[in-house]
Amino acid sequence: MSFKVKLMTCGLVAGVAAGLVLDAAIDLPLSLIPHVVLSALLGVAFGAWIGPRVYGGGSGLVWGEAFGLLWWLLGWLTLIPLLQGEGFRWSGPEIQERFELLLGQTIAFGAVLGLVFNGLNRIICRVTGVDPEPDQVAVAGLQGQELLSPSTRSMLFGGFGGLVGGWVFLIGIERSDFFPLVAGLVRSDSVAVGGLLHYLIAISIGVSFGLLFHRDVLGVGSALVWGMTYGITWWMFGPMTLGPILIGSTPDWSSAAAADAFAPLVAHILYGALIAFLFGAASRLWDIFFVDSDPLNRTAEGAGSRSLRGALMGQAAGIVGGLLFTFVMVSTDSLPRVASLVGGGSFVAGFVVHLLIALIIGSSYGLLFQRAAFSYGSGLGWGLSYGFLWWLLGPGTLFFVLLREPVDWSLLATADRYPALIGHLLYGMGLGLFFQFLVRRYDRHLPSAQHEPPDGVRRPHVHRTAGTPAAALWTVTLVIGVMVPLLLGAGS
**The predicted structure's pLDDT at residue 135:** 42
DSSP string, 410-442: -HHHHHHTHHHHHHHHHHHHHHHHHHHHHHHHH
What would the mean pLDDT of 175-182 be, rounded to a whole number?
80
pLDDT reading at 452 higher than 70: no
Q: Per-residue pLDDT for 292 more than 90?
A: no
Q: How many angstroms separate the CA atoms of 114 and 79, rounded?
A: 23
Burial class (CB in 10 A: 0-12, 13-18, 19+), 395: buried
Within 10 angstroms of residue 405's Cβ, the number of other Cβ atoms is 9
pLDDT of residue 374: 79
Q: CA-based angle 31:37:38, to the nearest 5?
A: 85
pLDDT at 450 over 50: no
Report the pLDDT averaged over residues 239-256: 89
**Whose CA is closest to 354, among 315, 333, 325, 383?**
325
- Closest of 315, 338, 314 to residue 326, by C-alpha: 338
CA distance 137 to 114: 18
Residue 74 pLDDT:
94
pLDDT band at 65 (very low <50, low <70, confident <90, very high): very high
- Other CB atoms within a 10 A radius of the CB of residue 351 amount to 17
Specify the 3-state DSSP secondary structure of 46: helix
| Residue pair 216/226 in contact by the 8 Å Cβ criterion | yes
Query: Nearest CA to 354 among 313, 384, 312, 395?
Result: 395
Of the ranges 54-58, 166-170, 318-322, 368-372, the best mean pLDDT one: 318-322
pLDDT at 443 over 80: no
Q: Buried b / exposed e across 59-98, counting CB within 10 Å, b at 16+?
A: bbbbbbbbbbbbbbeebbbbebbeeeeeeebeeeeebbeb
pLDDT digits (tens, 9 = 90+) for 138-157: 443 334 345 677 788 889 99
Percentage of the chain lying above the pLDDT 70 cut? 86
The answer to whether residue 267 scores a pLDDT higher than 70 is: yes
Q: Give the mean model confidence (pLDDT) for residues 71-84.
A: 92
Average pLDDT on 243-258 reads 89
Cα-only R_g, the chain: 23
Residue 71 confidence class, pLDDT cut points 50, 70, 90 = very high
In this predicted structure, the answer to whether residue 86 has a pLDDT above a threshold of 60 is: yes
Q: For 383-396, how does the pLDDT look when each residue is reduced to its tens digit (9 = 90+)?
A: 999 999 999 999 99
Q: Considering only CA atoms, which of 230, 206, 218, 216 is closest in space to residue 284?
A: 218
| Opening angle at CA 268, ends 267 and 272, nearest 5 | 120
User: Taking each helix axis from N to C terminus, what angle separates 347-369 and 303-331, rounded to the nearest 10 degrees?
Assistant: 140
d(CA 258, CA 404): 29
CB 345 within 8 A of CB 336: yes
Return the number of other C-beta atoms located less than 10 Å from residue 294's C-beta. 12
Lowest mean pLDDT across 32-36, 454-458, 460-464? 454-458
Mean pLDDT, rounded, for 11-35:
94
> pLDDT-based confidence at 254, cuts 50/70/90?
very high
The 10 Å Cβ neighbour count of residue 370 is: 24
Q: How far is CA 247 from CA 197, 239, 340, 368, in A?
A: 14, 11, 45, 41
How far CA 139 is from CA of 287, 419, 462, in Å, comes to: 11, 39, 10
Mean pLDDT of 165-177: 75
- State the Cα–Cα distance between residues 301 and 303, nearest whole angstrom: 7
Identify the DSSP state of 30. S
The answer to whether the CB of 417 falls within 8 A of the CB of 266 is no
Average pLDDT over residues 165-176: 75
Closest CA to 117 of 47, 212, 208: 47
Residue 337 CA to residue 248 CA, distance in Å, equals 46
